[in-house]
Structure 1
């Protein structure tokens, strides 16, 4: 019988551990990891600057003096400088290198045709091809955004068969990217035929960042609501440790 002086403690609902804070913390962790992964995959603010600056420099110089050669050389030079800065600082150069190749193709194409508008044509064709790739892969059940982000999240292709919630999120994100880029192309290609070089250039520079940010935001929304990624690298390491312990 319990002592009158020391009553037996009772557990009430208010004393029980509330699972809501733990669930909220887990959701916050998923969102934080998703933000970091998207930042790494798409280059963040610096990557956006490296994407915009060459085209901005080209159209600015061409607007002032209509000199195709000077505009093209300046755009290519600033791209090379940005790569050099990354190399000196030992940063990742994949975003800067992609910018250099894009600018180089534009410069070569414009020089060959003598038409300043053709500086933008390779990039526009690339955008169209990328839009179609996002849509086709989403239809095929292998969404491109999942192929891009899977290694970043350390899940590789586990989302295809083991994590249907993430596959669904990647499919939605790929559709978003595809439709947004198609909308961008629907604006730019008519301007390529009807507008002059400066008009096309300024519209293209204006459309560099907002559609990209919208697509990244929607990707974050879809993935933040999806189940967390399966860390296949951690699984492999755990399996190796298990085998080592068994053989040891």
Structure 2
């Protein structure tokens, strides 16, 4: 095999690996619909508050649209994890803002969650168990096999987790000063603007790192193969026993 032939033969495998990675990222992070569910409640809150300056109606509208999106997923029998996470996030924001009477506090739980998530990505990577690997491992059907059996993939997960952590920290570095210095509408519009671009950048970098990484080890397929082998061995032993008794 020449050096010219090898890339040609590897190209289909690389294409398949990238397609699998894209599908897994789409499933893990919710795709376009998940992004809409993430952005819409906050967009509705800041839009209504900008016009009316009424905390109660803005909060009710944001919570209402979150519940509506959950209801739509229930009717369509779709996965609920992204919609439910959105509802809980909005509900915490509403409760916090209503309790303090400060409309800016609608955004504070989400900002604190973002900061905590950024630190989680960084700390878990430093500890040798990058968070993005814990999230995507089950999606790729590799679970934690990448930790000990696939070092190239562990390295890719570490790079991706660093990317997520640093991007989210940069986002926090913009939002927290605005929480103290800006008014509710200014903070709200900046926050809505920063919902999608940093997320897309982190997902794209994750795709870049994983597309170049070794393929995941399908531990579920391995377990199924072991079960089939054990079953075949047991059947062979039973057949051998019957033949000996027959003899």
State the TM-score bracket (shorter-chain normalisation): over 0.9
Say if 2:50 is the partner of 1:74: no
**TM-score between both structures, scaled by the size of structure 2:** 0.93
Distance in 2 (CA, whole Å) between partners of 1:215 and 1:244 is 44
Q: How does 1:67-106 map to 2 (within 5 A)?
A: 67-106=54-93
Q: Give the aligned partner of residue 245 of structure 1.
A: 232
Aligned-partner SS, 1:226: coil
Aligned mates of 1:29, 1:140 — CA distance in 2: 31
Which whole-Å deviations, capped at 9, do the CAs of 1:194-213 have from their partners, x for residues lacking one? Answer: 00000000000000000000
Unaligned runs of 5+ in 1: 1-12
Give matches, 1:203-242, under 5 Å. Answer: 203-242=190-229
The alignment's C-alpha RMSD in Å is: 1.1
More helix by share: 2
Q: C-alpha offsets along residues 147-176 of structure 1, whole Å, 9 cap, x if unaligned?
A: 000000000000000000000000000000
Partner of 1:172: 159
| 1:182 equivalent in alignment to 2:182 | no
Deviation at 1:18, TM superposition (A): 3.2
- 2:146 aligned with 1:159, yes or no? yes
Match of 2:100 among 113, 120, 124: 113
The CA deviation at 1:84 is 0.3
Query: How many Å apart are 1:19 and its aligned residue?
Result: 3.2
Taking the aligned partners of 1:213 and 1:69, their CA distance within structure 2 comes to 32
Distance 2:125 2:210 in 1: 15
TM-score by length of 1: 0.93
Looking at CA atoms only, which structure, 1 or 2, has the larger radius of gyration? Answer: 1
Residue number among 30, 38, 49 corresponding to 2:25 in the alignment: 38
Q: Distance in 1 between matches of 2:126 and 2:234?
A: 46
1:109-148 superposed matches below 5 A? 109-148=96-135
For these two proteins, the number of residue pairs brought into alignment is 234
**Shift, 1:144, TM fit:** 0.2
- Displacement, 1:22? 2.1
| 4+ runs deviating over 3 angstroms | none
Question: How far did residue 216 of structure 1 move?
Answer: 0.2
Structure 2 distance, partners of 1:144, 1:167, is: 11
Matched, 1:64 2:87: no
Unpaired runs of 5+ in structure 2?
Answer: 236-247
